[in-house]
């Protein structure tokens, strides 16, 4: 490999070569390594050396061929880098599309779960309304029983009061069970909604990181 600057080495006493120099070569005097020591410099290639250039070697050196070879190497290197960049972009685009499809499938599944949950809430509300209607009917029956037995003697009245108490307790138990089930459904609904929101936030964060990664690749 040709040296681009005089080597930092001390040499024995230098003998000046009086032969004509090849084309583009000139003699210079060193100011740094050994002040006053001469070296040879090629104005075309920028090469510098202590020893005189060989005319035969220089005659075989073709600057145009050297430039063409260097240009071809640079073009091959540029093409290789461009191909690698295209491959990275294609892989990133494929990964991005796969994530988009996965996100769309997750969104559809989430919508289906929401629809099923909404239907469950509607069924629970319908059951609650039916229970309320049954309670109203039971209340009317209790009132009828109470009014009917007011005319009975004390013994019969006490027995029927126990029956009324039993009916009232059964009614309160049904109301309690219905209210407990309703609250449980509402709690499950809120829990699923919070979990769904957390998954949505996580998905948005992943999409945002993917968007930033793609920006880094394209910039």
The pLDDT tens digits of the residues spanning 108-155 come to 888 888 888 888 888 888 888 888 888 788 788 777 766 666 655 666
- pLDDT cut 90: percent of the chain above it: 3
- Whether residue 1 is predicted with pLDDT greater than 50 in this model: the reply is no
Q: Tally Cβ neighbours within 10 Å of residue 33.
A: 15
3-state SS, residue 24:
coil
Mean model confidence pLDDT for the chain: 79
Pairs from 56-60 (Cβ < 8 Å, separation ≥ 24) = 58/22, 58/23, 58/25, 59/22
pLDDT in the model for residue 4 = 46
Reply yes or no on whether the pLDDT at 62 is more than 70.
Answer: no
pLDDT one-digit tens code per residue, 14-50: 555 567 787 778 888 877 766 678 888 888 777 888 8
Which pLDDT belongs to residue 87? 92
pLDDT surpasses 70 at 13: no
Torsion angle (degrees, nearest 10) of CA 99, 102, 107, 112: 180
Q: pTM of the predicted model, to two decimals?
A: 0.30
Whether residue 5 is predicted with pLDDT greater than 50 in this model: the reply is no
41 strand-pairing partners: 26, 48
Indicate if the pLDDT at residue 7 is higher than 50. Answer: no
Q: What percent of the chain has pLDDT over 70?
A: 77
């Amino acid at each position: 490999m040709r040296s681009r600057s005089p080597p930092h080495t001390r040499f024995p006493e230098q003998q000046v070569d009086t032969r004509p120099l090849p084309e583009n070569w000139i003699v210079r005097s060193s100011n740094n390594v050994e002040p006053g020591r001469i070296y040879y410099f090629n104005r075309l290639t920028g090469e510098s050396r202590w020893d005189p250039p060989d005319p035969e070697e220089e005659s075989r050196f073709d600057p145009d061929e050297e430039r063409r070879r260097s240009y071809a190497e640079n073009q091959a290197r540029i093409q290789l880098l461009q191909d690698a960049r295209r491959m990275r972009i294609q892989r990133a685009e494929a990964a991005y599309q796969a994530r988009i499809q996965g996100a769309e499938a997750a969104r559809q599944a989430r919508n289906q779960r929401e629809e099923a949950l909404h239907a469950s809430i509607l069924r629970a509300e319908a059951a609650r309304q039916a229970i309320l209607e049954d309670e109203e009917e039971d209340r009317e029956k209790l009132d009828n029983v109470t009014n009917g037995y007011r005319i009975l003697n004390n013994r019969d009245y006490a027995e029927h009061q126990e029956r009324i108490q039993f009916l009232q307790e059964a009614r309160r138990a049904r109301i309690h069970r219905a209210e407990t089930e309703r609250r449980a459904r509402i709690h499950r609904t809120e829990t699923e909604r919070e979990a769904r929101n957390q998954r949505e936030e996580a998905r948005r964060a992943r999409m945002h990181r993917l968007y930033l990664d793609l920006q880094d690749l394209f910039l």
